[in-house]
Amino acid sequence: TQLLEQSPQFLSIQEGENLTVYCNSSSVFSSLQWYRQEPGEGPVLLVTVVTGGEVKKLKRLTFQFGDARKDSSLHITAAQPGDTGLYLCAGAGGATNKLIFGTGTLLAVQP
Protein backbone atom coordinates (compact mmCIF):
# COMPACT_ATOMS: atom_id res chain seq x y z
CA THR A 1 0.00 0.00 0.00
CA GLN A 2 1.35 3.39 -0.95
CA LEU A 3 1.48 5.77 1.99
CA LEU A 4 2.01 9.51 1.89
CA GLU A 5 2.93 11.09 5.20
CA GLN A 6 2.50 14.81 5.62
CA SER A 7 4.07 16.99 8.27
CA PRO A 8 3.16 18.87 10.22
CA GLN A 9 -0.33 17.56 10.85
CA PHE A 10 -1.55 20.85 12.28
CA LEU A 11 -0.11 24.34 11.94
CA SER A 12 -1.34 27.60 13.43
CA ILE A 13 0.59 30.72 12.47
CA GLN A 14 0.24 34.48 12.37
CA GLU A 15 -0.47 36.40 9.20
CA GLY A 16 2.75 37.28 7.40
CA GLU A 17 4.72 34.24 8.53
CA ASN A 18 6.25 31.68 6.18
CA LEU A 19 5.65 27.95 6.38
CA THR A 20 6.61 24.68 4.72
CA VAL A 21 4.55 21.51 4.49
CA TYR A 22 6.24 18.22 3.68
CA CYS A 23 4.91 15.16 1.91
CA ASN A 24 6.99 11.99 2.12
CA SER A 25 6.64 8.46 0.82
CA SER A 26 8.70 5.35 0.28
CA SER A 27 7.00 4.87 -3.10
CA VAL A 28 7.78 6.49 -6.42
CA PHE A 29 4.95 8.36 -8.10
CA SER A 30 4.46 9.21 -11.76
CA SER A 31 3.03 12.54 -10.65
CA LEU A 32 2.23 14.32 -7.44
CA GLN A 33 -0.47 16.86 -6.83
CA TRP A 34 -1.24 19.38 -4.11
CA TYR A 35 -4.79 20.26 -3.17
CA ARG A 36 -6.45 22.69 -0.80
CA GLN A 37 -9.78 21.80 0.73
CA GLU A 38 -12.29 23.91 2.64
CA PRO A 39 -14.79 22.33 5.07
CA GLY A 40 -17.74 20.70 3.32
CA GLU A 41 -16.25 21.00 -0.14
CA GLY A 42 -14.24 18.85 -2.50
CA PRO A 43 -10.48 19.38 -2.80
CA VAL A 44 -9.26 21.99 -5.28
CA LEU A 45 -6.15 21.29 -7.31
CA LEU A 46 -3.28 23.71 -6.75
CA VAL A 47 -0.51 22.16 -8.81
CA THR A 48 0.74 18.98 -10.47
CA VAL A 49 4.44 18.10 -10.54
CA VAL A 50 5.73 15.31 -12.71
CA THR A 51 9.50 15.66 -13.09
CA GLY A 52 11.99 14.85 -10.34
CA GLY A 53 13.51 18.07 -9.00
CA GLU A 54 10.77 20.18 -10.52
CA VAL A 55 9.89 23.49 -8.85
CA LYS A 56 6.66 25.32 -9.56
CA LYS A 57 5.50 28.66 -8.25
CA LEU A 58 1.94 29.84 -7.86
CA LYS A 59 1.96 33.40 -6.50
CA ARG A 60 3.10 32.99 -2.87
CA LEU A 61 3.16 29.19 -3.07
CA THR A 62 6.24 27.24 -4.12
CA PHE A 63 6.04 23.52 -4.82
CA GLN A 64 8.98 21.17 -5.18
CA PHE A 65 9.09 17.53 -6.29
CA GLY A 66 11.95 15.46 -4.94
CA ASP A 67 14.63 14.19 -7.29
CA ALA A 68 13.54 10.60 -6.71
CA ARG A 69 9.84 11.49 -7.09
CA LYS A 70 9.06 10.15 -3.64
CA ASP A 71 8.57 13.39 -1.75
CA SER A 72 7.40 16.95 -2.19
CA SER A 73 7.15 20.20 -0.30
CA LEU A 74 4.86 23.21 -0.31
CA HIS A 75 6.21 26.54 0.89
CA ILE A 76 3.92 29.49 1.54
CA THR A 77 5.42 32.95 1.83
CA ALA A 78 3.72 35.68 3.87
CA ALA A 79 0.70 33.58 4.77
CA GLN A 80 -2.70 35.23 4.79
CA PRO A 81 -5.94 34.25 6.58
CA GLY A 82 -7.33 33.22 3.19
CA ASP A 83 -4.70 30.47 3.06
CA THR A 84 -6.44 28.69 5.93
CA GLY A 85 -7.55 25.20 4.98
CA LEU A 86 -6.61 21.55 4.70
CA TYR A 87 -3.64 20.98 2.40
CA LEU A 88 -3.35 17.57 0.82
CA CYS A 89 -0.69 16.02 -1.32
CA ALA A 90 -1.71 13.15 -3.57
CA GLY A 91 0.33 10.73 -5.60
CA ALA A 92 -0.68 8.91 -8.74
CA GLY A 93 0.93 5.72 -9.88
CA GLY A 94 0.61 2.02 -10.35
CA ALA A 95 -1.26 0.16 -13.03
CA THR A 96 -4.55 1.96 -12.41
CA ASN A 97 -3.09 5.41 -11.75
CA LYS A 98 -5.31 5.75 -8.72
CA LEU A 99 -4.81 8.89 -6.68
CA ILE A 100 -3.71 8.29 -3.10
CA PHE A 101 -3.91 11.18 -0.67
CA GLY A 102 -1.46 12.16 2.02
CA THR A 103 -2.42 12.40 5.67
CA GLY A 104 -3.16 16.11 5.38
CA THR A 105 -1.99 19.34 6.99
CA LEU A 106 -4.56 21.58 8.63
CA LEU A 107 -3.37 25.19 8.41
CA ALA A 108 -4.84 28.07 10.36
CA VAL A 109 -3.57 31.58 9.66
CA GLN A 110 -4.53 34.05 12.37
CA PRO A 111 -5.05 37.72 11.40
Partner 1 sequence: GAVVSQHPSRVICKSGTSVKIECRSLDFQATTMFWYRQFPKQSLMLMATSNEGSKATYEQGVEKDKFLINHASLTLSTLTVTSAHPEDSSFYICSARAQRGLRFGYTFGSGTRLTVV
List all residues 6 or more positions away from 94 whose beta carbon is below 8 Å from its beta carbon: 2
Residue in 105, 73, 109, 101 with CA at minimum distance from that of residue 86: 105
Query: Quick one: which segment of 18-26, 44-52, 61-69, 70-78 binds partner 1 (CB under 8 A)?
Result: 44-52
Q: What is the CA radius of gyration of the chain?
A: 13
Q: Does 101 bind partner 1 (CB under 8 A)?
A: yes
Quick one: DSSP state of residue 42?
Answer: -
Q: Can you tell me the distance from the alpha carbon of 71 to that of 78, in angstroms, rounded to the nearest whole number?
A: 23
Q: Considering beta carbons, is residue 19 or 100 the nearer one to partner 1? A: 100
* CB 88 within 8 Å of CB 5: no
Q: Does 106 bind partner 1 (CB under 8 A)?
A: yes
Q: Does 50 bind partner 1 (CB under 8 A)?
A: yes
Number of amino acids touching partner 1 (CB under 8 A): 26
Q: Does 99 bind partner 1 (CB under 8 A)?
A: yes
Q: Does 104 bind partner 1 (CB under 8 A)?
A: yes
Q: What is the contact surface with partner 1 in residues (CB under 8 A)?
A: 1, 6, 31, 33, 40-45, 48, 50, 86, 88, 90, 92, 96-104, 106
